[in-house]
């Protein structure tokens, strides 16, 4: 990708990108922000509307308490300070999908400020990306440009989305690379999903992101002029759009030009951005205080109630899995990427002899097979109890890892649970010490060089001998006994 690909890497390396993200998230309330209409994606167009969300004369908005609760929860989860008193404002502009002529939003007194999200920094530690503000607002309707027989000549309007409650989360310009932006968004989405305030579904538009980016010569203090990239509908595309945009801006500068402050649109098919409007054409929103809504007061009681409802957040869960269950940081990160997976894992880890072993079997054996088949965990023929059984049999040395793989192969092939396959096939195990010793002797005799190295101190070679004997036994040697006998033979 990259239309600006003519830039030499060493030229690009002389510049530092500066990125700030504005994220809009629809809240999962049953009804809209200021009226009783259903807040539901995918309904028949123009069925969930009323005088309030259409802004008909005389209609008055009434704030949805649940939207405030969700926004407060998100603010706390994002380490923001919640303002006791915030103010609603009208953001005025004309657009066909905005019949009211303004969106109710918050302007100079937002609900929450001064938060942060932690991302991993290039050096290996962590880095805080500041959150400037989090405010409540309402969504506009949707213009439908395609999908109708006469779409070539007409645009249709669906006003169901008018009045859907949103939070907008604005980051500080603290992000320095497209990868960091990707991680910020991944963390943000995880946190919001854990809080249950949004489904964060980018395809359905319940999470939308505008990316602001500028470049400056490395070491410079002042920021460069930024462009704002809109219309990007996946985190991967945001990363790609930022990569493109950074190269484009550097190219403009090194060829003697000046970066314009403008809004640009991402074109996913072409992998590039296009200018949409410059600053001169920019919306002049003219915010006014909203006279129909009183100041939003988040009382101390409301705030402490939200604090009580705050769930364990992804980062805390990751650390706890590592600390309390002995899960490796890598596995903990994968397990906590989804709250549903993390909860299922924790529930069943209680009956696992080794939670880390269970995690490995779950993620690599089962996860790998599911991924290859394009299935979700809920669609797995092997139950969580079956996976725990496999991990425990492995941990106890009752089956070898090769036998476990064969049992999982059979289970997935026949669509059966692990326990059923295990009971039927009861894999043979060689537990007869003398039979194993005979095999070990043969392997030792066939590999004198390795024996010499082992005895000279290279103890890790024990694994080589175990592997050879396991192979000779067609995977049927009892692993625990085999390990014990191999070391005894080599040391003796």
* DSSP assigned state of 351: T
Residue 18 interacts with ligand ADP (CB under 6 A): yes or no: yes
Look-up of token digits 């999982």: 408
CB under 5 to 8 A by kind: which of ligand ADP, Zn ion, none does 173 bind? ligand ADP
CB closer to ligand ADP, 66 vs 128: 128
Residue 90 Cβ vs Zn ion, minimum distance, rounded to whole Å: 17
Say how many residues touch ligand ADP, by CB under 6 A: 14
Site for Zn ion (CB under 5 A): which residue of 11, 12, 43, 50? Answer: 50
Residue 128 interacts with ligand ADP (CB under 6 A): yes or no: no
CB under 5 to 8 A by kind: which of ligand ADP, Zn ion, none does 22 bind? ligand ADP
Residue 117 Cβ vs ligand ADP, minimum distance, rounded to whole Å: 13
437-444 long-range contacts (CB < 8 A, ≥24 apart) are: 437/485, 437/489, 439/469, 439/472, 439/473, 439/477, 440/465, 440/469, 440/482, 440/485, 440/486, 440/489, 441/489, 442/472, 443/468, 443/469, 443/472, 444/489, 444/490
d(CA 132, CA 22): 10
CB closer to ligand ADP, 106 vs 360: 106
CB closer to Zn ion, 52 vs 119: 52
Question: 3-class SS at 82?
Answer: strand
CB under 5 to 8 A by kind: which of ligand ADP, Zn ion, none does 37 bind? Zn ion
Residue 227 Cβ vs ligand ADP, minimum distance, rounded to whole Å: 8
Residue 195 interacts with Zn ion (CB under 5 A): yes or no: no
CB closer to ligand ADP, 18 vs 411: 18
Residue 457 Cβ vs ligand ADP, minimum distance, rounded to whole Å: 57
What lies within 8 Å, CB to CB, of 354 at 6+ separation is: 326, 391, 395
Residue 35 interacts with Zn ion (CB under 5 A): yes or no: yes
Provide the β-strand partners of residue 126: 120
Residue 232 interacts with ligand ADP (CB under 6 A): yes or no: no
Residue 129 interacts with ligand ADP (CB under 6 A): yes or no: no
CB closer to ligand ADP, 45 vs 130: 130
CB closer to Zn ion, 161 vs 398: 161
Measured from the Cβ of residue 468, the count of other Cβ atoms closer than 10 Å reads: 19
Q: How far is CA 358 from the centre of its chain?
A: 23
d(CA 482, CA 439): 10
Taking Cα atoms as reference points, which of 121, 117, 112 lies closest to residue 130? 117
Helices 462-472 and 448-455: crossing angle in degrees, nearest 10, is 150
- Name the phi and psi angles at 151, rounded to 5: -65, -20
CB closer to Zn ion, 138 vs 180: 138
- Name the phi and psi angles at 218, rounded to 5: -55, 135
Residue 20 interacts with ligand ADP (CB under 6 A): yes or no: yes
Residue 53 interacts with Zn ion (CB under 5 A): yes or no: yes
Residue 171 interacts with ligand ADP (CB under 6 A): yes or no: yes
* DSSP assigned state of 305: H
Residue 63 interacts with Zn ion (CB under 5 A): yes or no: no
Residue 403 interacts with ligand ADP (CB under 6 A): yes or no: no
Q: Judged by CB under 5 A, which stretch of 44-52, 261-269, 273-281, 425-433 contacts Zn ion?
A: 44-52
Binding site for ligand ADP (CB under 6 A): 18-22, 170-173, 212-214, 223, 226
């Amino acid at each position: 990708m990259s239309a600006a690909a003519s830039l030499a890497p060493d030229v690009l390396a002389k510049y530092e990108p500066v990125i700030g993200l504005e994220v809009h998230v629809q809240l999962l309330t049953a009804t809209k922000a200021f009226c009783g209409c259903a807040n539901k994606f995918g309904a028949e167009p123009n069925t969930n509307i009323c005088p309030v969300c259409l802004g008909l004369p005389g209609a008055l908005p009434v704030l949805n308490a649940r939207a405030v609760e969700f926004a407060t929860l998100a603010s706390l989860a994002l380490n923001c300070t919640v303002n006791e008193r915030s103010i609603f404002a009208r953001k005025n502009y004309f657009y066909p999908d905005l019949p009211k002529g303004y969106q109710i939003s918050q302007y100079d007194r937002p609900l929450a400020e001064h938060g942060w999200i932690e991302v991993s920094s290039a050096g290996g530690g962590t880095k805080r990306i500041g959150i400037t503000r989090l405010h409540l607002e309402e969504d506009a309707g949707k213009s439908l440009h395609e999908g109708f027989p006469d779409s070539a000549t007409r645009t249709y309007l669906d006003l169901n989305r008018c009045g859907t409650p949103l939070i907008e989360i604005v980051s500080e310009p603290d992000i320095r690379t497209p990868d960091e932006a990707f991680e910020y968004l991944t963390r943000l989405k995880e946190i919001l999903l854990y809080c249950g305030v949004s489904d964060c579904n980018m395809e359905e538009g319940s999470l939308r992101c505008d990316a602001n980016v500028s470049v400056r010569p490395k070491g410079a203090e002042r920021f460069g002029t930024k462009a704002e990239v809109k219309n990007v509908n996946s985190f991967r595309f945001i990363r790609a759009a930022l990569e493109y945009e950074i190269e484009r801006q550097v190219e403009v500068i090194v060829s003697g030009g000046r970066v314009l402050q403008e809004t640009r649109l991402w074109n996913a098919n072409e992998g590039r951005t296009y200018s949409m409007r410059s600053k001169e054409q920019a919306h002049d929103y003219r915010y006014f205080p909203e006279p129909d809504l009183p100041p939003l007061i988040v009382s101390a009681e409301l705030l402490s109630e939200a604090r009580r409802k705050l769930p364990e957040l992804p980062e805390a869960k990751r650390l706890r899995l590592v600390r309390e269950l002995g899960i490796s940081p890598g596995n903990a990160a994968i397990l906590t990427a989804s709250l549903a997976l993390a909860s299922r894992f924790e529930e069943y880890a209680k009956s696992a002899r080794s939670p880390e072993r269970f995690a490995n079997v779950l993620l690599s054996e089962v996860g790998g097979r599911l991924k290859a088949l394009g299935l979700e965990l809920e669609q797995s023929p092997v139950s969580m109890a079956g996976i725990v059984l496999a991990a425990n049999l492995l941990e106890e040395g009752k089956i070898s890892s090769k036998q476990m793989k064969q049992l999982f192969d059979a289970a997935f092939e026949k669509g059966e649970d692990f326990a059923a396959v295990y009971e039927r096939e009861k894999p043979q195990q060689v537990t007869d010490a003398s039979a194993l010793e005979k095999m070990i002797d043969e392997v030792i005799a066939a590999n004198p060089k390795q024996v010499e190295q082992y005895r000279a101190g290279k103890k890790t070679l024990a694994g080589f001998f175990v592997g050879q004997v396991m192979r000779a036994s067609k995977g049927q040697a009892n692993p625990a006994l085999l390990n014990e006998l191999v070391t005894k033979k080599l040391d003796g």
